[in-house]
Homo-oligomer: A and B are copies of this chain.
Amino acid sequence: MPTNVAAARLALEGVKAACSNCNLRELCLPIGIEPEDLRKIDELVSTRRRLKRGDYLYRAGQGFESIYAIRSGFFKTDVLIEDGRDQVTGFQMTGELLGLDGISSEVHSCNAIALEDSEVCAIPFSQLEGLSRQIHTLQHHFHKVMSREIVRDHGVMMLLGTMRAEERLAAFLLNLSQRFKARGYSPAEFNLRMSRDEIGSYLGLKLETVSRAFSRFQEEGLLAVHQRRVRILNTAGLRKLMTHHRGS
């Protein structure tokens, strides 16, 4: 892209986000919205925010007033308890929403941290509620998004409660793969934005165990790993690992 065009776009950012010509529309907005309604939504999503790798989008304990749609980049959310233990509760990528945890008590209950340079659209929540009273499809879409988060969490609970280490990692990689695919990237080759330690925290494992599982998958020809670069060689094999392993 020529630099003058990039500069022109940069000047606009922070002023106008323009859902109407955002290429993520299908991911974070309902399809089939009337042009007129889309204009209203444009007004709703008025501010963007850029974050560098390592920046906090919000912290546990901070007051809640907006949810965020990820325009580009990669995030993790984590919760921590007094004694220092923490748990990564999710990884979020382009087109996904962050901040839903804050609605219940007007205060964020987890930290959201950028794992690479990222850009988000801030959506003031009270305005979202207002608009979703007018636009049925927006309301319903939002309810679906919240519900999907609940279902996703149940999947993670299943993973943490019943799966063994290699199954967990396989499930994790297949999930990532499928999400990359949905965004038009290769489902077979991608690089991880998170460390072994962060994967371990998410999966309820220690980083050494994660590392060993990676090595084992590589030995068995299921995938090729080099640092954070992953190339899936045998999707079916990974999938079989997930279900076929134990009787109990």
> Chain A contact residues: over half helix, strand or loop, or mixed?
helix
Bound together, the chains give a CA A151 to CA B161 distance in angstroms of 18
Q: Write out the residue numbers on chain B whose beta carbons fall within 8 Å of the beta carbon of A244.
A: 83
How many of these chains are in the complex? 2
The count of residues in chain A whose C-beta lies closer than 8 Å to any C-beta of chain B is 51
In the bound complex, residues from chain B placing their C-beta under 8 Å from that of A79 are 154-155, 158
Q: Is the CB of A89 within 8 A of B204?
A: no
Report if A182 contacts B (CB, 8 A): no
Q: A79-B154, A147-B103, A150-B146 are in contact. Are A162 and B85 (CB under 8 A)?
A: yes
Could you tell me the distance between the alpha carbons of A183 and B179 in the complex, rounded to whole angstroms?
42
Residues in chain B near residue A109, CB distance under 8 A: 151, 154
Residues in B neighbouring A89, C-beta threshold 8 A: 154, 157-158
CB distance from A78 to the nearest CB of B (A): 9
